[in-house]
Amino acid sequence: MLSPNQIVEMMMEKDAFSSWMGINIEKIELGSSVISCEVKEEMLNGFQILHGGISYSLSDSALAFASNSYGNKCVSIETSISHTRPAKLGDILIATCKEIHRGRSIGIYEVSIKNQDDKLISIFKGTVNISLEEW
């Protein structure tokens, strides 16, 4: 059986968009994950602040890593995000995913992104379907 870290390694390998974002894996445990990246020029929108799509993408990756850590493949069903504070060029985004509920077929996770000053950038909720297929 694969460990949570081995599963995430397999997921990250060949994940072109996570590479493009420059995602760092900080910590992976059963049902939780901490990942980070730095805001770079190409991630900005017309207001010169971080495009909300990047916060979503980082949160979605944190969700994928946390929910798949048990060894069963999980697919996201529904996700929502609120952007609470703008992030700017050079900021470090730290996404922490924790498990709210894990039933037989459904898992619910929350991801908060904070910046280097521990200020909340966004809050994300994701619901996944837990399949029987294993990594």
Q: Which residues bind a copy of itself (CB under 8 A)?
A: 10-18, 20, 41-46, 48, 51-54, 56-58, 60-61, 76-85, 100-101, 103, 105-106, 108, 110, 112, 120, 123, 125, 127, 129
Residue where the block lists tokens 């995430």: 8
Give the nearer residue to a copy of itself in terms of CB position, either 6 or 76: 76
Bridge partners of 10, per DSSP, are none
Give the nearer residue to a copy of itself in terms of CB position, either 33 or 57: 57
CB contact at 8 A, 47 and 31: no
- Measured from the CB of residue 46, what is the shortest distance to a copy of itself in angstroms? 4
- Measured from the CB of residue 50, what is the shortest distance to a copy of itself in angstroms? 9
Return the structure tokens found at 127. 């619901």
CA torsion, ordered 81, 86, 88, 94, to nearest 10 deg: -50
